[in-house]
Structures are given as C-alpha cells and as structure tokens.
Structure 1
Amino acid sequence: MSREWAAKMMEPFTVLIVDDVRTNLLVIGQCLKGLYNVREATSGAQCLKLARSEPQPDLILLDVVMPDLDGYQVCKALKSDPMTAEIPIIFVTGRDTDEDEQRGLQLGAVDYITKPIRPAIVRARVSAHIQLKQQRDRLQFMALHDQLTGLYNRHFLVETASQRLARVVRHRTPMTVVLLDIDHFKKINDNHGHLTGDKVLIAIAKLLNANIRKEDVVARLGGEEFVILLDCGLDIAAQKMENLRGLLESMQPEGLKVTGSFGLVEASPFNADFSHLLVMADDGVYRAKSQGRNRVVCCRAEATVINKPKHTDQQRQQEG
C-alpha cells in the first residue's frame, strides 16, 4: 500500500444525509455522530450540489419523498454523472412496498432502509457499505497507481493520454508530453543498493507531485522513467521543466546528487499518436544524455524520424 493511500485512509469518511424534514436529519445524524463526518442536505438540488463538491461524500443516505426532486430522480441524476456515479446510495424512506424497494435498487442504490429509523440498523448498514467502498477504492487505487511511488502507472497513463489526445484533435487544445529519465540511476542501485534506489525514486515522485498542477498528469512509466502530460504548449512546458530540472538537481535525496534528462514533444491534431509521441520524447532524452545529461531538450515533429526505434531498456541501463 502506498503512502498516499495510507494517508487517504486516515481521513474520516463523509456521509451525506438528505431529507427535507429537519427531525429526520437530527435523528439520523445522531446515529452516526462521532463515527463519520456528517453533512446534511434538505433538498434534491442541494444534494446534487454537495455530491459534486469537495470533499465528496463517501456515502449518501437519501430520502425518497422530497418537494423539488424526489429521491429516485436524485439517484438517477447521480448515477448518470461520471463524477458521482461511484458514490454508494442508501435510500432511507417511509415507502416500504416491495415495488418501491425494487425501483430504488434498480436505479443503482446499494441498500434500502425503511422508516421509522432504527439506529442500530442504520449504523450497521452504513458501516457495511463504507467498508465495501473502502475495499473497492483500494483495489481501484492499486490498479491505477504505481505501488512504489504512488504515482499513476502505465495503464492509467495510456488511457488518459488517449482521452487527452482526442481532445487535442477535436478542440485544438495544447498538450505537451514529457519523458524524464534519471541520470546514472544504475550506479545508484549498484553503489548504494536497491533500497536506497527505491527511496530516491519515492523522493523524486514527491517532488514531481508537489510541482505539477493538479490538472496535469505525472506517471511512472517504469524503472527510473517518468512521463508528464502538460496542458500547455511546448515553450511554456520547456520553462516549467527547466524549473523542475533545477529543483531535482538541488534536492539530493538520501544525500545523493541526482539529475534528470528531459525530452519534450508537443502534440497536435496531426501528431496525436501517444506511442509516436513517446518515441519522439525518448529521442529528446537520448539527445539530452548525449549532450551531457541534466538538461531539457525539445523535439519538433518535423525534425523527428517517425520510424526511429525506441531505445531499449538495456541501452538505458548502459547509458544511465
């Protein structure tokens, strides 16, 4: 488990209670007091707003009968929005027919509790579904993140790059792909051991996370290679990476001098194949190393041979 996930698990879970009757809010809130971070909404519209705001609720307790949007309509809206679709919903309602319960579950709710409120039942159901969500989130996190550094992994990178490149083609939005290779990393492992090498990679990941905007993407491609997707053009990206290069050079993790070689390439509607862009960025890294390492090299599409093979891992290790 990464440190990022462990830190996330230390945060209290948030339960959003939605009911237009103040007494019901008080009763349910009292059931969960001291166990969760409890938020309240008195209407369907307010529920939708809070569900899309930070921090997002980990679970929603939703009444059915409300004046503006009823609970079924709210549930349908939440499940149709990718931003809120994964939030588990438990209906808490006075409607106790089989048809009502069936409808709620078919709309995507995970459970259905009937009124009058029984505190022990509410606590037990909420606890069970919070634990299920925690397990699901952990599995999802592990599937999309590198286990050593906590950065996004290659799978997430490829999927996200494909989506962003489609946006480049459709809307002409700027995007730059950055490949970062840590210089002489093999020597760190050989001279100081792989445990020290791992600590260096973790420190570099923290530096990248701290200096890359939330809307950008940083991932570990493998070994000592990292990829950054920046929502900006090549010139601005080069300035940012030059700043990052300086920070990397000065950080000295584990008391070791560490530098990196950066290869940058800008995507365009006519150059939007991620594999090709990685080859071009890799060519930039190769040129940076051949020029003395610890530098940023920008690649232009017209100056790149499309069929140039990517440098092998063995060459990477030999060249550092």
Structure 2
Amino acid sequence: MRTKKPRILIVDDSMEQQDMLTEMLLDNYDIISAFNGNQALRMARTDPQPDLILMDIIMPSPDGFEVCSILKAEERTEGIPIVLTSGMGDGRIGKKAAQSGASAYLNKPFSLLKLNATLDKFLTPLTIA
C-alpha cells in the first residue's frame, strides 16, 4: 500500500503568496491553485475535489468570506475544511471567518510550524491499495 497526498487548493490573488505557500507545502501535499474567488468556486466543485482549501480573505469579489459562505451552503462542498488567512491582524476578522463557516483562521505572517499544525487538524494521508 502507498499513501496518497491530500490535495490542497491554495487561493490567493498574490503570485508571491501562492509561490511561497506552494514551496512550503509541496513535499507533503498535492497543490492546486486559484487566483480569485470565482476560480476557487469552480475548482472546489470539480473532481477531484480538494481535501482542504487554504484561502486569503482579501481578494477581488467574491472575497474569501463570500467564497467560504457559498461553499459551506452547498451540499457537494460543505464538508471541505476551509482555512482562511489574512494579514489584517484584527480580532474581528477571526470571528467573521468563523461566522462564514471557516474551519480555522491564520493571521499572516504565520510560521510553517503553525501552518502544518493547523493543516494536521483536518488532513491525514490517504492510504490506497
């Protein structure tokens, strides 16, 4: 038996952030990327679906809160854990993230250790024959 890497959809309108997160996670996860909310919605609904979505809040419309709320309202995507991120270190952001249905919120900048600890709460390697 071998293990299949969990698939993470990274959603961020910054190419620099996309590249940094991909570099941090590529060894342990299958990474796919979207650069705006509409791409994220399309990719989350398409097979194979991501096992987790790591998404920036501040993006062109729809923003991360809106995308999260939409995905959590749809039966097909409601079970996908969503980790929202933002560089706006305001305590209200974390509360709004939870209200939108996010599984977790990370304030930027965050360490690889913190990111991995958060992802480990929701993902485990999938064993396949």
Provide TM-score, normalisation by structure 2: 0.90
Cross-structure match for 1:109: 102
Amino acid at match of 1:72: F
One-letter amino acid of the structure 1 residue matched with residue 80 of structure 2: I
**Whole-angstrom CA distance in 1 between matches of 2:70 and 2:45:** 11
C-alpha RMSD over aligned residues: 1.6
Q: Percent identity?
A: 33
Cα deviation per residue 1:94-119 (whole Å; 9 max; x = unaligned)? 12211110010122111110112322
Contact persistence 1:60–1:87 (CA under 8 A): yes
Q: Which residue, 91, 96, 119 being the options, matches 2:112?
A: 119
User: Do structure 1's residue 39 and structure 2's residue 32 form an aligned pair?
Assistant: yes
Q: State the structure with more CA Rg.
A: 1
Q: Quote the Cα distance in structure 1 between the aligned partners of 2:103 and 2:60.
A: 23
Deviation at 1:10, TM superposition (A): 3.4
1:24 to 17, 20, 36: 17
Deviations 1:46-76 (A, max 9, x none): 0000001111000000100101211000001
Equivalent residue, structure 1, for 2:50: 57
Query: Does residue 1:89 correspond to 2:82, yes or no?
Result: yes
**Structure 1: distance between partners of 2:111 and 2:3:** 29
Any idea what SS the aligned residue of 1:109 has?
coil
Q: Which amino acid aligns with 2:32?
A: R
* Cα distance in structure 1, aligned partners of 2:7 and 2:35: 17
Consecutive unaligned residues of structure 2, counting only runs of 5 or more, are none
Structure 1 residue runs of 5 or longer lacking an equivalent are: 1-6, 135-320
What letter matches 1:130 in structure 2? L
2:7 to 4, 8, 14: 14
Counterpart Cα distance in 2 of 1:99 and 1:124: 22
Aligned residue for 1:101, secondary structure, equals helix
Contact 2:87-2:108 within 8 A present in 1 as well: yes
Alpha-carbon deviations, 1:137-157, whole Å to 9, x = none?
xxxxxxxxxxxxxxxxxxxxx
The normalised TM-score by structure 1 is 0.38
Structure with a larger share of its residues in helix: 1
User: What SS is found at the alignment partner of 1:10?
Assistant: strand
**Structure with greater contact order relative to length (CA < 8 Å, sep ≥ 6):** 2
Residue correspondences, number: 125
**Is the 1:75–1:109 Cα contact (8 Å) retained in structure 2?**
yes
